[in-house]
Each structure stands twice: as C-alpha cells, then as structure tokens.
Amino acid sequence: MNQSVKMKWAAGPAISITRRYGLAVVSVAAALGLSLAFIHFQLPQPFGAFALSAIALTFWYAGTAPGIFAAVLSSIVRDYFFDPGISTESRILFDLVFLIFALLMTRVVRERNQLELRVAERTAELTQLNDNLKREIAKHSQIEAELRLSEAYLAEAQRLSHTGSWAWSPPPGDIRYWSEECFRVQGFDPKGGLPRYEEFFQSVHPDDQARITEVIQTAVRKKEEFEFDYRIVHPDGEIRDARSFGHPVLDASGDLIEYVGTIIDVTERKQAEKERERLREAQADLAHISRMTTMGELTASLAHEVNQPITAAVNGASTCVRWLTREDPDLGEAREAAQGVIRNAKRASDIINRIRSISKKGESKRQLADVNELIREMIALLRSEANRYSISVRTELDAELPKVMADSVQVQQVLMNLIMNGIDAMKNVDRERELAICSQRAENRLLMISVSDSGVGLPPDQEDKIFDPFFTTKPHGIGMGLRISRSIVESHGGRLWASDNSPRGATFRFTLPSPAEVGA
C-alpha cells in the first residue's frame, strides 16, 4: 500500500502529459489575454504578475516539467508581446526572475509532494492499526463469550452437585472468592457481596465451631490440606449438613499464599444414608422373624438333635459308674467312659450354640467364612428333620473352595430355607427322597452353591412367582423365606435362582463372590 502511494507521487499528478503541458500553455495564454485586456483599458501593464501566477499554477497542478515549460513560454511571450525593444540586460533580468521563481516552485512542489506522501503513509498505517484493533476486539469478545459460557456451565455443575468453591487468604485473612453456590449452601445473600471470614464462622453450628477452628488452625500451621464435616445454621433456622475441603497454595519459597477449596451440601446424601440404614435394619428384623419362624417349625428335630449327644453322654456316665461300682473297679475303662461324657456334652453344647447363633438377633457382621463349613453345620442341624421324612442327604463339596466375605448367620439362613423347602417338596412323594447339596467354583471369582431335591418340582407356570413376597405353597408358610433368601444373597453381591430338575424335583442355586485378595 505504502509502495503504491510512493509510486503515485513520484510520477507527479495523475493526469495525462498533454493536459499537463496544455495547462502550461493555457495558463500562460490566460496571463497574456488578461495583460492585453488590461492594456486595452489603459491599466498598468501587469504581465509579469500574471505570468508568475500561470507558472505557479502549472507547477502546482501539472508538475515540475510543465512548470518549467510555462516559465520558458512566459519568457518568450513577454519578449514577443511586451517591451520588444527592451535592453538585453532587462530581458535577462526578467528571464532570471522567471527562472528563480520556477526553481522556487520546483522546491515547493517537491515539499508538497513529500508532505502528501507522508500524510498518505500515516493514513495507511492508521487504517491498518484500526483494522487490527477491530480484529482484536472481535477476538476478545468471542473469548469473553466462551468464558461466560464456561462459567455458566461451571455454575450449573456447582448448583447440581451442591458444591461451592472458594479462596481464602489465612490468617486472619479475607475471603477472596466465594462462588454463587457457596452463597446458597452457606445461606448467605449474594447481594451482600463477599462474606467476611467471621460471617462464615457465625453461620456454622455453635457445637461445630470449636472443632473446625482447631482443624483449620492445625492445617494452616502445617500448610496442609484440611477436610471437615460441619453443620450450617441458615438464617431461617434450618440446619444443613456440609463438608468442606481446603487445599493450600504455596509460593516458590514455600510460603502460604491462600487456600482454595470447596463447600458441599451433604444433607440429602446423609438423609439417604440414614434411610438406607433404616431399611437395612428393617430387612434384618424381617430376616430374624423369618429365621425364628423356621426354627419354630424345626423345634422337634432340633430337640432330637440335642437329645442325641445328651443320650450318648448319659450312656457314658452310666458306663463310668458301672466300671467304678463293680466289685473289682476298672479305673481305665471308667476314665475312658468319662472322657466320652465330656466329648458328648461338648457336642450338645455346640449344637445349642449353633441354634442360639441362628436365633440371635444381631447386627450383620461380614467376615471371612468357609461356605463348606456353613453347609456342614446346617446339615448337622437339619439331619433329624431329614431323617423324620426318610430323606437322605448327599453333599458334593469342593475341598478347594475359596472363602467368602459374608455374614455366616445370614448365609446359613439361606441354606436353611433352601434345605427346608427341599424337604418340604419331598415329604409326600413316593419315590427315593434325596437332597443333594453341592459347592463349587464358578466363573468370575464366584462360588456356586446348589440345593437339589427329588420332590414335586416348582409350581407349574409360577416359576418366577416363588420369589414374590407372601407366595407360598405350604399350609402354614408365610411366603417370605425365598424372598428374604434372595435379598440376603443379593446384599452379598450374589444371585439366587431356581430351575426344574429333569425328570423331577427342583434345584436352587446361589452365588457368592470371593474377595480377590483371599486365597483358597
């Protein structure tokens, strides 16, 4: 752009060469005409002044060469029309005046040209600066729009997650930043501007103030992160649960500049936790009632189961007394019999403890458990019940079975329900009655336990309904056993399902996950 401006001015005014020289001729002719008119009206002869004007005009508008041409032309015209008899010295003087004037005009025109060039250059520069500025402004407003959008998204995310963000320069320090959500969570009016630290503190529940002061002071002293739960008292008296987290920002020399962090409203989350806890308790109560109901049905069999070792103990004690009261007492035999008494009394006590632990209502306790052992214990308790209906019990237990993290009593409750259902299904069938209990490893670190019977099978067309609450085929059943069993298995991360056996009976299977870090 600059280049073309320069070229334009170097070439002189952008008019044709004919016009430029024409201007010289016309302007000198005009000077001649005016002078002749002046003479006609008897006025003083002014050709010199007119000729200088013509030369100046030509220089200004047509450039240097036509200007010089006008000067020469003026000199010739003057010599020809005015004072033809003037002395050579006078003529030279006139010509000299025209020449000097022409040179002067040459300089003036050059100066003018340079000035105009500079103005054009400056104008071009300014135009470009202006364009750049406009582009810059456009870019900035786009960035600003993007920032506004991103800030809106962030504010929305904060609102949705009830998480506010803040910056605070300790101590005693001012709050430097306090996001919109912070105002909402803490119960402050956004119109009040950035809250002071004391205002924040006053909105904390009085019982929590001392504790969080301690936490913050310790963190500031050690330049460490802090995290605490606290309660907020809103202006309307509502109490909210919140959690705050702060991260220290240090400068290059390790000095604390400020803390940045978050405030999260956890009221709903805590409420949901409480609800879940209540639900767990209700489920535990129901499971307990169900266990007690089943144990009630088993009273006769359990009594028999306890009676066996007691009978054995009484036998042993009688034997012992007999060896001692013989005419020739045999202490060795007596001791052996007495040891049998101890063994059997312990066995009776073990059975009673087992019954008691199943009947006990307690909190759910998860610990490493050997499923095979749980199966064996349950079979021991239910053996008399199976005998009562001439049912033989067969087990296929995988000796390499890994342990599971489980509530033993609850898993035994599931086993008890399934075994009792199996016995129930076989009570009235006129063929071989066999209950098979198997444990094995399945895919994905799962254990699978199955309880199969050769009974009546699942109720036709109601395979899915057996897990519904209050569904029962027994005259005295409450229909919660399978329902509770399924919820117990699922709460352990497993699954419980049923299928018909071919040609008869049903199989109930459930899975339990074994923790990765626990070996077999």
| Min dist. Cβ of residue 241 to other proteins (A) | 58
Q: Which of residues 119-158 bind other proteins (CB under 8 A)?
A: none
Q: Return the number of the residue (67 or 422) whose C-beta is nearest other proteins.
A: 422
In angstroms, give the least distance from the CB of 340 to other proteins: 6
Among 99, 103, 117, 314, binds other proteins (CB under 8 A): 314
Give the residue with the Cβ less far from other proteins, 130 or 311.
311
Return the SS3 of 83: coil
The pair of structure tokens assigned to 125 is 């520069």
Q: Between residues 267 and 308, which has the closer beta carbon with respect to other proteins?
A: 308
428 touching other proteins, by CB under 8 A: no
- Quick note: the x/- pattern for other proteins over 318-337, rule CB under 8 A, is xx--xx---------x--xx
Q: Is 466 in the site for other proteins (CB under 8 A)?
A: no
Rule CB under 8 A: choose which of 46, 187, 340, 513 binds other proteins.
340
Does 182 participate in binding other proteins (rule CB under 8 A)?
A: no
Considering only 132, 213, 311, 339, the residue that binds other proteins (CB under 8 A) is 311
Cβ–Cβ contacts within 10 Å for residue 250, how many? 11
User: What are the C-alpha distances in Å from 418 to residues 203, 402, 412, 434, 450?
Assistant: 56, 22, 10, 14, 9
Rg (CA), the chain: 56
**CB of residue 454 to other proteins, shortest distance in Å:** 14
Asked if 475 contacts 422 with a C-beta cutoff of 8 angstroms, the reply is no
The residue (of 182 and 334) whose beta carbon lies closer to other proteins is 334
Piece of the chain touching other proteins by CB under 8 A; list 36-44, 60-68, 84-92, 339-347 = 339-347
Q: How many whole angstroms separate alpha carbon 125 and alpha carbon 104?
A: 32
Provide the minimum distance between the beta carbon of 495 and other proteins in the complex, in angstroms, as a whole number. Answer: 32
Provide the 10 A C-beta neighbour count for residue 144: 10
Rounded CA separation 298/217 (Å): 62
In the complex with other proteins, which residue's Cβ is closer, 159 or 388?
A: 388
261 Cβ neighbours under 8 A, 6+ residues apart: 165, 166, 167, 168, 244, 245, 246, 247
Least gap, CB of 358 to other proteins (angstroms)? 20
Other Cβ atoms less than 10 A from the Cβ of 215: the count is 16
Q: Which tokens hold the place of 285?
A: 């109560």
Find how far residue 37's CA is from the centre of its chain: 99
CB 310 to other proteins: min, Å: 6
| Residue 308 near other proteins by CB under 8 A | yes
CA 271, CA 285: separation in Å to the nearest integer? 21
Can residue 452 be called a binding residue for other proteins (CB under 8 A)?
no
Q: Considering beta carbons, is residue 26 or 345 the nearer one to other proteins?
A: 345
Q: How far is the CB of 348 from other proteins (least distance, A)?
A: 10
How far apart CA 288 and CA 358 sit, in angstroms, is 9
Is 341:320 a contact under the CB 8 Å cutoff?
Answer: yes
Q: Which is nearer to other proteins, 63 or 422 (CB)?
A: 422
Nearer to other proteins, 251 or 328 (CB): 328
Q: Which of residues 370-409 bind other proteins (CB under 8 A)?
A: 384, 386-388, 390-393
CA distance 275 to 7: 88
Residue 292 and residue 409 in contact, taking contact as beta carbons nearer than 8 Å: no
Closer CB to other proteins, residue 374 or residue 386?
A: 386
Binding to other proteins (CB under 8 A): which residues in 278-307? 300, 303-304, 307
Q: Tell whether residue 426 is a contact of other proteins (CB under 8 A).
A: no
Alpha helices in 360-459, H assignment, sequence order? 371-388, 408-426
- Work out how close the CB of 411 gets to other proteins at its nearest, in angstroms, rounded to a whole number: 25
Pick 106 or 308: Cβ nearer other proteins: 308
Under rule CB under 8 A, how many of the chain's residues touch other proteins?
32
Residue placing its CB nearer to other proteins in the complex, 257 or 300: 300
The two structure tokens encoding residue 449: 């336990």
Tokens of 509: 């299977």
Q: Which of 107, 118, 343, 365 binds other proteins (CB under 8 A)?
A: 343
Give the DSSP letter string of 215-266.
HHHHHHHHT--EEEEEEEE-TTS-EEEEEEEEEEEE-TTS-EEEEEEEEEE-
Calpha distance 102→63 (Å, rounded): 11
Which residues of the chain form contacts with other proteins (CB under 8 A)? 300, 303-304, 307-316, 318-319, 322-323, 333, 336-337, 340, 343-344, 347, 384, 386-388, 390-393
